[in-house]
């Protein structure tokens, strides 16, 4: 009886196991192939929407810049405790002119993202004066620490 139960469990669980990776895909599928079908100065916004769909996001500063994103992740090996592994990461930047024709197109792939150099410079304040907010909050701090104003009178004398 135990052997039958053991065989039943094996036949139920083993066929459900798979060796193929499960890929979670976000964004526009096959973005790199669709990018090659787009040509400058002859493709308009309607053609892009028909080929790629609506943009993933628009630029906040330039409304004629459309951004399309593709990302594919998969669970890694058991030895890495199921961390997500980045398989594909593609970004397409499309810039249009005032008439709606494609002016410039840029493709950024996963290998390009690894080669981005960041600056080590630190931004400093352009003004050495204390802000109005700081002055107001420090005044409130003084009033909380000395509500009757006795300490301030000693300093002024």
Distance CA 82, CA 4 (A): 33
Structure tokens belonging to residue 61: 């500063």
- Contact present, 20 and 75 (Cβ < 8 Å): no
Asked if residue 155 has pLDDT above 60, the reply is no
The sign of the dihedral angle between the CA atoms of 74, 76, 80, 81 is positive
Binning pLDDT at 50, 70 and 90, where does residue 135 land?
confident
For the segment 112-125, what is each residue's pLDDT rounded down to a tens digit? 877 777 778 887 76
pLDDT at 152 (0 to 100):
59
DSSP of 34-47:
HHHT--TTT-BHHH
pLDDT at 79 (0 to 100):
60
Give 16 or 65, the one with higher predicted confidence.
65
Tell me what the pLDDT averaged over the chain comes to.
80
H or E element that contains 11: helix 2-13
H or E element that contains 4: helix 2-13
For the segment 78-99, what is each residue's pLDDT rounded down to a tens digit? 666 667 888 888 999 999 998 9
- Contact present, 72 and 87 (Cβ < 8 Å): yes
For the chain, domain boundaries: 22-118
What is the rounded average pLDDT of the residues 13-24? 68
pLDDT at 140 (0 to 100):
79
Q: pTM (2 decimals)? A: 0.60
What is the rounded average pLDDT of the residues 133-149? 78
């Amino acid at each position: 009886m135990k052997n039958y139960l053991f065989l039943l469990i094996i036949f139920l669980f083993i066929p459900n196991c798979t060796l193929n990776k499960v890929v979670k895909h976000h964004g526009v599928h096959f973005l790199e192939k669709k990018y090659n079908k787009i040509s400058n100065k002859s493709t308009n916004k309607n053609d892009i929407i028909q080929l790629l769909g609506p943009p993933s996001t628009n630029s906040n500063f330039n409304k004629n810049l459309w951004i399309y994103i593709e990302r594919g992740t998969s669970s890694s090996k058991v030895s890495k405790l199921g961390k997500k592994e980045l398989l594909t990461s593609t970004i397409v930047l499309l810039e249009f002119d005032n008439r709606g024709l494609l002016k410039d197109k840029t493709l950024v792939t996963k290998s390009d993202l690894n080669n981005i150099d960041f600056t080590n410079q630190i931004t400093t304040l352009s003004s050495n004066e204390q802000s109005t907010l700081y002055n107001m909050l420090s005044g409130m701090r003084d009033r909380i620490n000395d509500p009757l104003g006795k300490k301030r009178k000693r300093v002024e004398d």
